Structure 1
Amino acid sequence: MTDGRQAEAPQAPQAPEAPARGKYAPVLLDEREILRRGLDTFAELGYAATTMRELARRLDVSHNFINDRYGSKGNFWRAVVDFALLDARPALDRLLAECRDDDERLRSVIVQLYRLAANASGMNRLIQDESTRDSSRLDYLHQRFIKPFWDSIEPTIDSLMATGRIPRVPTHILYFAVTGPALALAQDPIADRLNPAAAPTTEQDRNSMADALSGLVLHGLLPPSHGETSNA
């Protein structure tokens, strides 16, 4: 017999919550992987929305790890930027030294810049995001990469302007003309929607996309001389 009350269904046992990592728990990632994941997080969320808690979750480290190792979130961001730009400047500097004339130098640098942008989408998104904000982080990017890069090609640009090969326009206009399309190479979600069949999946795909875009830009910025065909 029953007392008229419906028997309660047995509750499934709940899995215990994963214990929080202790302050002195070993860090399982090497330095490069820590910085790579940090770059992905800053690029995806932006600096302001990247919390210490979220970084700790994605790095699988204790909440105090960033402060203990790097001193602050800002210092960690700067370490991430230095890591991401480690190989970019030397590659561009080699091109500047190897190229024979101004036309070839500017073409080669733009092609290489676009390839770097296409294959380093995290850093590309980070620069794109920070370039819209007046901050000490933009100062850091400007001092560490943007200004040295622009200073290195400015003599080439001045020479090409003097000979009438490229239009004589203010520096920031030319900067936008050169780098704007490169920054757009980080916009994979809209590219997938515009042309799903051409979504790049390999480094070769990304290089092909970068080369097509740099060729289009160079056709307008630095068209072939009379009797010359472009191989950009």
Structure 2
Amino acid sequence: MDKKKSSDPIAGEVETRRSPDRAGEGDRRRGKFRDFRRAYPGFVFTLGLALAAILAVDAWLVFKRVRYNSELSDLRSSMTSAERQRSDLIVEEEENKLQIAIELAKRQAKFDKKLHLNVAVDSARMYLTRDGALLREMPVQFGPERPAEENSSAPPVAIPRGERTVADIGEGRITLDGGTVILASDAGKSANDSTPIPPGALRIAREDMEAIKPNLSAGMKVYFY
């Protein structure tokens, strides 16, 4: 006597997806994480290492922040009331000076009728413009800033803000007044260049460097904002 076929559509679908000799394996879609770990041990191990590294970096950053806040609190507690007030005024004054320099650079760059370079630090872009017309846009990379350290003889270095001028144009580099240097990347694109950038320096693609060099001259304005 022939067996009747199951009227269950789900069961029928499972039967059509599996051969008779594999029917006892069950549906893989219902497997647990343990089965996945056994099937892909290398992937799970790598994922675990990446997660551990991320947690370690987060813990280190939290530790540094707590330590910095603790040192700052100890320093302020050792000051007199007059010294704390004077310190706060100095910090506020420096912040105001920086903001004024940035806004002034934006305004000057907008109305400068001569050929000049604009460097938008926040968006990491450099622009060759003249009289409000954009002639070339370039991605730019920045070297790390180096704060002043008590036990180090190296001077502090920061990305400039405000107005600078081109002091010298050499092979693969543009030097600004104050010592800031714009370098050309040896890679095809600056984003693909993983070599370290000197503190306080800038780097653009060599293609962009070669394209703008004929238009540059000593004394040209460069606005950082």
Structure showing greater radius of gyration is 2
Identify which of structures 1 and 2 has the higher relative contact order when contacts are C-alpha pairs closer than 8 Å and 6+ apart: 1
More helix by share: 1
More strand by share: 2
What TM-score results when the alignment is normalised by the length of structure 2? Answer: 0.27
